[in-house]
Amino acid sequence: MAADAGNAPRLTGAALGAVRHRGSHLQIVASAGSGKTEVVSQRVADLLAEGVSPESIVAFTFTARAAEELKNRIVQPSAAAGASIRDVRRTR
């Protein structure tokens, strides 16, 4: 990942491919610190920007800390872009 002019890193390679993937479910498996949260958050934000219903998007993480970080990375840019996110839920 490279730094972008905005706050979000500019993704390349497989990470960019994961963000742009459409047409089927996607599972992202990678090592700690590899950028999974950034890929998932950019993917969800892109889907929302394309008009996909928030109710049809599911993203899983394994810790409460990761879930909170994922939520923040999705909600802030989406709100800035004018998207309305009515409900972000955390389940156990």
User: Quick count: other Cβ atoms within 10 Å of Cβ 78?
Assistant: 20
Can you give the chain as a three-state secondary structure string?
CECCCCCCCECCHHHHHHHHCCCCCCCCCCCCCCCHHHHHHHHHHHHHHCCCCHHHCCCCCCCHHHHHHHHHHHHHHHHHCCCCCCCCCCCC
Token pair for 31: 């090592």
For the cut 80, the answer to whether the pLDDT of residue 78 exceeds it is no
How high is the pLDDT of residue 59? 86
pLDDT tens digits for 5-56? 355 668 889 999 999 999 999 998 888 888 888 999 999 988 988 988 888 8
The pLDDT score that the predictor gives to residue 39 is 92
Q: pLDDT: is 54 or 85 the higher one?
A: 54
